Amino acid sequence: MLRVAPWLPRALALGLLTLAAPIAAQAQPTVSMETGQMLANDGLRPGQSRWLPEAATATGALRIVVSIPLQRAYVFRGSTLIAITTISSGQPGYDTPTGRYTILEKQVTHHSSLYENAPMPFMQRLTVDGIALHAGQVAAEPASHGCIRLPRAFAQRLYGMTALGTVVVVTDEAPNAPEEALALASAS
């Protein structure tokens, strides 16, 4: 029978904890354990999004806040953050305009009349001259011709939730927390 020194299991556990500590320190939590709210450093990579469990029970008007510097969109129902996503806004020379908009038009299948018939699935028009939320390739930086590109699955789900008149605030501010993004939506 193999005999193990009584101190060995404890030493192994301490060794594993010592090795795991630097890895855990690098990981950034995406949701505050105290409040359940999304943190500004959400850990999302380009093309990723996250729907929070509160989405199922939240009530109130739907509002969307798009932060150009963070390349993020926050979706609120009432005062509850229900989703966050990465986006790609307009590249230099095709800047996405900031301001308070409402959704003017929606089309599941739409193609650009300005840019070589480019597909714009789940298009939700914000301006009469063509700026819209729509599904598209989301890069790590601004990459569109002024529209706000969303990951496809996110764009589809959001499209099903919005209505004409839903408020969308596009800002050049970088909120540090969802509460700051909500304040931007409320102030506009």
Instruction: Domain 31-187: give its CATH superfamily.
Output: L,D-transpeptidase catalytic domain-like (2.40.440.10)
Phi, psi of 158 (to 5 degrees): -60, -40
- Which pLDDT value is given to residue 34? 38
Radius of gyration (C-alpha) of the chain in whole angstroms: 21
Helix (H, G, I), strand (E, B) or coil at 67: strand
Map out the domains of the chain as residue ranges: 31-187
CA 164 to chain centroid:
21
State the Cα–Cα distance between residues 150 and 148, nearest whole angstrom. Answer: 6
Find the Cα–Cα–Cα–Cα dihedral 177, 179, 184, 188, rounded to 10°.
170
- Which pLDDT value is given to residue 19? 44
- Which pLDDT value is given to residue 7? 59
Residue ranges for the chain with pLDDT beneath 70: 1-40, 115, 117, 188
Spell 16-47 as b/e; 16+ CB within 10 A means b. eeeeeeeeeeeeeeebeeeeeebbbebebeeb
